[in-house]
Amino acid sequence: MTTIKTRSGTELYLKDWGQGRPVVLLHGWPLTSDTWDDFAMAAADAGFRAISYDRRGFGRSEQPWTGYDYDTLADDLADVLEATDAQDAALFGFSMGGGEVARYMSRHGGRRVSKAALIASVVPYMLETTDNPKGTPQSTFDGMTAAMKEDRAHFFQSFFKSFYGVGVFTGTVSDAVLDWSFNQAMAAGLKPTLACAQAFATTDFRPDLAHFRVPTLIIHGTGDQTVPIDAAGRAAAAGIPGAEIIEYDGAPHGLFASNKQQLTEDLLAFLRR
């Protein structure tokens, strides 16, 4: 198993596939780097170096008690780039992973990065406030926390149906994908699961947007019930200088499975520019 040790001493599980210009892949909550495997293999086959890793607290990475704020997570990303000597890299962040991309661009000045993509990302700000009226109410996040504390397994069984649009869109993913996602979620620690949910729900990335000084692609489904597009993808596109947005009509949150081929083609086309 390949691991790297961060500056705080936490070991992260890492995959490093292929050769060529690197693309670093950041996964969503509450999943693992395995969700990037289809794209990572396609990227490696296309002549790129695909680097993905399990966020601290999730999958095969260590589960420390602390460090689930975005500053620490961005530092973890910086340590991955350093350990792999990734230069001229593209950063692709799905969902929660988009926040790590944004915070890295501001906190670490976008060092080593030549492109960025935010896929169904939580950027710029998920929480409903007086100056972010299209955000998600705090009561929604409070309800998620209570449900996870009461019966995390039951919560995730229903959560992933919404995540992939099951019951809303026909044939988005198989039951096996739901099981696969559930198993990944239950491998995470309860503490990191709750702490990361709080982080992506309450972190305001609007000040980070001006620090995107590289070509940036945003991809978001218009039917996303987990991270609605108005407060996320569309707002990020409006705030990041020169950003390009591709909207998948009617698509749910879990684009890496529901719209796998389309997403792979769009991301590879972006890498080849």
* Residues with a known catalytic role: 95, 224, 253
**Is 194 within 8 Å of 148 (Cβ atoms)?**
yes
DSSP states of the chain: --EEE-TTS-EEEEEEESSSSEEEEE--TT--GGGGHHHHHHHHHTT-EEEEEPPTTSTTS---SS--SHHHHHHHHHHHHHHHT--SEEEEEETHHHHHHHHHHHHSTTTTEEEEEEES---S--B-BTTBTTSB-HHHHHHHHHHHHHHHHHHHHHHHHHHTTBTTBTTSS-HHHHHHHHHHHHHS-HHHHHHHHHHHHH---GGGGGG--S-EEEEEETT-SSS-TTTTHHHHHHHSTT-EEEEETT--S-HHHHTHHHHHHHHHHHHH-
